[in-house]
Copies of this chain bind each other. A is one copy, B any other.
Amino acid sequence: MSGGRGTGPAALRDKAAALDATDPLRHCRDLYVPADGLVAYLDGNSLGRPLRATAQRITNLVAHDWGTRLIRSWDEQWMDLPLRLGDRIGEVCLGAAAGQTVVGDSTTVMLYKLLRAAVAAAGPERPEIVVDTENFPTDRYVAQGIADETGARLVWVEPDPAKGVTPDLVEAALTERTGVVLLSHVAYKSAWIADLPEITRRLHDAGALVLWDLCHSVGVVPSDLDEHDVDLAVGCTYKFLGGGPGAPAFGYVAARHHERLRQPIQGWMGHAEPFVMGPDYRPGAGMRGFISGTPPVLGMVGIEDTVDLIESVGLDAVRDKAARLGRFVIESVDELLAGHGVRVTSPLVDEQRGGHVTLAHPRFREVYRELWAQDVVPDFREPDGIRLGLSPLSTSYAEVAEALVRIEALLSAG
């Protein structure tokens, strides 16, 4: 029995099969390491699946680059890897010309470094940092910490539940004392896509700098950083970029700021001449100066492979499938789950929604636990949200349908 407007599980599964059959990215699914026993994986926006190529390359890296070439691999390939891979992410996913993106550190640490740099560059006359209350916790906590240590003041923007963080809301928070605005391109809970071009334009008009958090957009929603004159950005690589658990972040700093911005964690790897090991720190030119310590090589393999795959199919095709998967969720909820009182808390319009859809229902905490027990794996978000991550390269319509059918059955079973 269906709890919605009449479309039952069988019809939904048929519809998903038809969509999978004509999906232009369907061949990509076979490129991933098979996940035996997993019925549906809908958490690729927390931890993306590994490509078979990545599994093979990591095995080879341990045996050859690490195990045999050993320290020589630093000379042969690893010293410039953070910059080379940064450039690839920039080229394929960010619309960023070479020399502005670097890979390294955790997202939290990279965010700290770039926000410290931006706050210092904004100067004491502009001590206000604008953040939104629905930004990812690390963004809020890092900003709080930096405010405490630098004397900056946080100015909070409350997103509109029906529109997310709009240009008008941001503009209302701007003053002559605004130094830096820290926002997420795609909201981690709701999937609202912020209007990055318009927000960036307005805050520039007010004399502020922007630091965009691209964690939930990179690899699934284009950001075109150069075109929109973005100042700084950070992002995560273990979601849509396939870097694996705890893979390093990336940081972007527009070339026009390189001379002016200095990050605070002065390590030997960011030195202009790392192996001279001289008495004083002198930051390397461009993005080298934004490196601190030795970069985690094993975590970079999957990023490289996933960026290659995104390039081969085109980021627009990935974006398009994310929108279609989301629309499929929304239509299916309407047909199958609305009668149970399930609400869609993500934007209904494709152009406003990133690579996930969040549904809400008072019983979702227990439903979520049951789903996991059935090897159907979405995410839970406080207080009552089930977040369906839609990774266009690895997620099938059939997986999405199966998750929704199971949710319906669990709600029906009461």
Query: Residues of A with Cβ closer than 8 Å to B?
Result: 32-38, 41, 43, 46-47, 49-50, 54-55, 58-59, 62-63, 65-68, 70-74, 78, 104-109, 112, 133, 136-138, 140-142, 144-145, 149, 238, 244-249, 264-269, 271, 274-281, 292-299, 372, 377, 379, 381-382
Are B133's CB and A268's CB within 8 A? no
Question: A59-B59, A145-B264, A298-B58 are known contacts. Are A66 and B109 too (CB-CB below 8 A)?
Answer: no
Return the contact of A293 from the options B106, B269, B280 (Cβ within 8 A).
B106
Contacts of A296 in B (CB 8 A): 106, 245-248, 296, 298-299
A151 to B: closest C-beta gap in Å: 12
Are B62's CB and A47's CB within 8 A? no
Are B141's CB and A271's CB within 8 A? yes
Are A238's CB and B298's CB within 8 A? no
Q: Which residue of B lies closest to A249 (CB)?
A: B293
Copies in the complex: 2
Contacts of A72 in B (CB 8 A): 372, 377
Question: A62-B33, A268-B108, A280-B144 are known contacts. Are A71 and B50 too (CB-CB below 8 A)?
Answer: no
Question: A41-B70, A105-B109, A246-B298 are known contacts. Are A33 and B265 too (CB-CB below 8 A)?
Answer: no
Are B105's CB and A105's CB within 8 A? yes
In the complex, which of the residues A54, A66, A78, A140 has the most CB atoms of chain B within 10 Å of its own CB atom?
A: A66
Q: Which residue of B lies closest to A281 (CB)?
A: B141
Are A67's CB and B35's CB within 8 A? yes
A247 to B248, CA, bound (A): 11
- A–B Cβ pairs within 8 angstroms, 26 of them: A32-B67, A33-B63, A33-B67, A35-B68, A43-B71, A47-B71, A50-B66, A55-B67, A104-B106, A108-B265, A108-B266, A109-B292, A137-B268, A140-B281, A142-B267, A145-B265, A145-B281, A244-B297, A245-B296, A245-B298, A246-B295, A246-B298, A246-B299, A247-B296, A247-B298, A276-B382
